Structure 1
C-alpha cells in the first residue's frame, strides 16, 4: 500500500484505471492486490473494471496463479500478462503504454524488480517513450540513496526525470516499529487510519483532538494504545466464535455482525479499555481531566452513556473493513 501512496493523487483519482506493474515477485503481486482493493473501495460502479498490465519473464504463469488463488479477481479487473524481459526490443518499444482504444492508456507504472540497476534501467527506458504521454513511474529501490539520489528533489526532478519516483524499501517500510511490531503494528496503524477518517476537529475533546494527526505524529502513548487494541482484536472476535485469517475473500470487508455479536464484542472491548486505563493510573471521576488522569467512562458497560457505547459498537462494526484493508479477513469457527 505504501508504494501505491508514494505518488500523490492526480485529478482526485485515488486509483488510476490502468496501471502497469513490472516484475511479479512478492512486491509486484502485493501492488496488484492492493491496487484492486483500493479500486473496489473507491469505485461504486460495479461495471467499471481496473485494467492491470503485468510484465515479467513468467507473466502468464504468475497471472494465472494469482487468479487461481483469488478467483474473484475476474469480477473486478482485467489482468493482461506480457511475457518479456525489460531489455528486450518489445519492452524498449513500449507499445503496451498505449491502449488500442485510445481511452485507457497506462496511467501509472510500478517497477518492482529486485535489482536496483535493472529497475532504474526499466524506468528510464519507459521515460524515453513518454515524450507526450506523461505517466508517473515509481521505481522500487533498496533505499533512497545511491542510484535513488538521481530521483531526488534536485534540478533533475524538474527536468526529464520529473515523472520518476524512487520508493526506498528500507526507508519506507523497515522502521523499527514495523520490524518489532509486525502484524500488530500494521493493524494499529490501520485502526488509527480508520479513526481519522471518522473524526473531525470540531467534535473532539482535548485528548481526542491530540489524536487527529497522522500516525507518524501521534504521541507514543496513543500509538501504544492502538497497538494494545490491535493485539486484542483476536480475543475480542473469539467471544463470538470468530478468528483472523489472511484475506482470500474479496468480499470479507463487507461482513456484518449480528446485533448480539456487536453488543458482546463491544462490551468486551470496553472492559479491555478500562483495564488498560486503570493499569496506566487512570481513575474514575465525573469530570474528565487528562492531567490528573480522571475519566468519567471508567464504569461498567451497563453504566456507560449510550453515546460512548456507540463508539465501541462502531469500532466492532468496522473491524471487517479495517482488517480487510490490512490484508486480513474474519472467519467463523
Structure 2
C-alpha cells in the first residue's frame, strides 16, 4: 500500500485553498421593479439583493476603488449611494427629473436627467406630434461623492442617453436621442465644443464608446439600425448595419472586437474592429439593453428586462451558457473588479 507523506497532503490542501481563493468578483444588476441583484461570478448565481430605498433604479455605476455603488432612481429623482463593503444604503443625492444613464469617472458621478422625457419613446418613422412644444435640453448632473452633493451640470441636447469620456479625459461626449445629435463638451467647464448630427445616418443615437486606443468613437443609432464610426476629431468614417434597435455597445479590453446589443432583433452582435465585419449574432432575449464582461473577460453578462433574466455568454465561444432568472425587470449591469461593458470601461 502506498503511503502518502504529510508534505504531499499539505501541498494538495494548499493548492485546493489557492484555487478556491480565486475570486472572480461580483456583478450588480439594477432592477426597475426592485433594488440591485448581486451575482456571484464564481457560481453565476444570484447571492443577494441590495435595497436602494428608491423606486425604478436604472443607471448604475461603481467607483474606481469599489467602495460605492451608485444607482439613478427615475421615480424619486435621485441617486442612491451604497457601501459595497456592507451592501447597505448610505444616502440619497437629489439630481433632477428622470435620471437615467450613470457614469462614474475620477471620483465624480455623471448622470443624465431628462426634463423633457415622458418615459415613452416616439414611434419609429413618425413625426413628433409635439412640434410646437420646446425641446428642453437634458442636464448632465455632476455629483462629487466626497462632498455628497451636486456640484454643477452640463447642458446637453434633449433626452440625453449615453455618456462617454475621451481617452485624454479632456472631453465628455453625450448622445441626444430627441434631436439626433452627439455633442462634445469641455470636461472641466461643460462648454459645448462640437455638435454632430446623426440624421444623415439614422435617428436616436443611444450608446457611445471610445475605442481603447482612443483613436475613434462608435455610437449606436436605434432607429437607423446601425452604428457609426467617428474619428478622433468626430468626423464620420463609416456606417455599419446592425440588427433592429441597437443600444448598448462596448469593446473588449484590447479593442479587437466590438459588441452591440440589438434589442428588437434579440441578438448580441459581434464585430471585428479591423474591418467592422460581423463575426456572429448571438440569440438573446427581449429588451436586452446593457451588458458587461466579467473582470477576467471569460464571460459576458447581458441584462434582458423583458425576458426576466440575465444571460451568461462565453466570450470566446460566443454562446449562451446560462440563464440567471430575474423577474424584477433588469435594466443595467456592472461588475467589480471593473471591466469593459456598455455602462462602464477600464481606462
Taking structure 2 as the reference length, the TM-score comes to 0.28
Q: Whose strand fraction is larger, Structure 1's or Structure 2's?
A: 2
Higher relative contact order (CA 8 A, sep 6+): 1
Return the TM-score normalized by structure 1.
0.29
